Each structure stands twice: as C-alpha cells, then as structure tokens.
Amino acid sequence: MLLRPRQQDFLDRTLDALSQNDNTLGIAPTGAGKTILFSHLLGTLIRNNPDTKSLVISHRDELTAQNYDKFNLINPGISTSIVNSDTKEWNGQVVFAMVQTLSREANLANIPRLDFLLIDEAHHTPAETYQSIINRARDKSDSCKLIGLTATPNRSDGEGLRKNYSNVSDQIFISELISSGYLVPPRTFVIDS
C-alpha cells in the first residue's frame, strides 16, 4: 500500500522527530489514514532489525484488531502477536494490545524490553492505565521511544499531553485533505421541526 504525498511527509517528519527525541506526537484527522501511517512508520523503524520489539496499544478490541490486520497487510514479513483477554502472546516483533488488558498487574509484569511503544488515540495517554504501561516499558528500557497518534490532542478535561510528548512531529489538517481531493467538504443540514 503506497502512501499519499502528504502521508509520506508525515512519515518523514515523524522519523526525523524520533531521531532527535525519545518521543513524538503525530496529529491527523479522521480519514488521514493514521493506521496506515503508523504501520509504515513501525515497518520502517524495525524492518531491518529482527531484534527490535514494538508494542501498539489501543483502547478498544475493535481498534486492536484493525491495527493488527492493517499492519500485517502492509508489513507481511514482520512477525506480530496479540495480547488480549483471550491470548497473551509476546512472541511477535510487533505486539498489539488493548490498554485495559495490558494495564492489569499480571500482564504489566510480562511486558518485555521494548524499543518502541506506540499509542493509538494518544489523547488517552494521561490516563493512569496508559501511564502504568509507559512506566513499565521505560523501567525495562530507558531507551524505549514513545510514539503517539491522535486526531484530538485537546482533552475536554484540559489536561495536556506534554508530560509524555515533548514535541509534535507533524499535524495534518482536514483542509489539506479536502483541497488535495482525499476528503469531501463537509456539509451541514438543519432539520426544521
């Protein structure tokens, strides 16, 4: 699956941010292809190093399955596994897990040494469950790089993401996707009663 030019820019900027920092946050709206983007990103980071280990966490089973499927479609040569309520497999080079399962003490204890920890829907990062996973990953390896992707970096509770993300690698705007023909302009309708 080839990246669109704007997606390639996003990927390049994120790789650059990770080369200079131990974390980065990427912001892209719904429809920008965040799952495709992070699949290419992790594939680029680990493809030529079989000893590299990555963990992708999300907050819903459906997102975990979607992330797993898309990653395997884009990176068929990279081994993957899943940690969820039914399966606790850490043997993949990239492991996909749901935060609620992984944040349980018994599962936290089994987190191996990680090179990359990617958080899908990164606006959830301040939650205690995510913090426990980040802390465990960093306890195992202080060189573990944190990558967050989100469409909504502003939280309704006003809590910022700066505790975990010192920089924003890139931000794709809806207007860019509309002007390049990848999204249709939104239309608003009012229903008279």
Q: Find, among 2, 36, 6, 1, the residue nearest to 181 by Cα.
A: 6
CA distance 192 to 177: 31
Q: Global pTM?
A: 0.94
Give the H or E element holding residue 97: strand 94-98
Q: Of 176, 165, 173, 183, whose CA–CA distance to 29 is shortest? A: 173
Encoded tokens for 135 = 């802390």
Q: What is the mean pLDDT of residues 89-115?
A: 96
Instruction: Taking residues 159-178, report their average pLDDT.
Output: 95
Locate 120 and state its tokens. 């899908």
Above 90 in pLDDT, residue 85? no
Does the structure show a pLDDT above 90 at 155? no
Query: Which residues are within 8 A (CB) of 165 and not within 5 positions of it... i.e. 6 or more apart?
Result: 23, 24, 25, 122, 125, 146, 148
Full DSSP string of 14-78: HHHHHHH-SEEEEE--TTS-HHHHHHHHHHHHHTT-TT--EEEEESSHHHHHHHHHHHHHH-TTS
Question: What pLDDT score does 4 carry?
Answer: 94
* pLDDT band for position 82 (cuts 50, 70, 90): very high
Whether 135 and 172 have beta carbons less than 8 Å apart is answered as no
Q: Whole-angstrom Cα distance, residue 114 to residue 149? A: 18
Cα–Cα distance between 132 and 108 in angstroms, integer?
8
Rounded average pLDDT over 73-86: 95
Burial (Cβ within 10 Å: 0-12, 13-18, ≥19) of residue 83: buried
What pLDDT is recorded for position 105?
A: 93
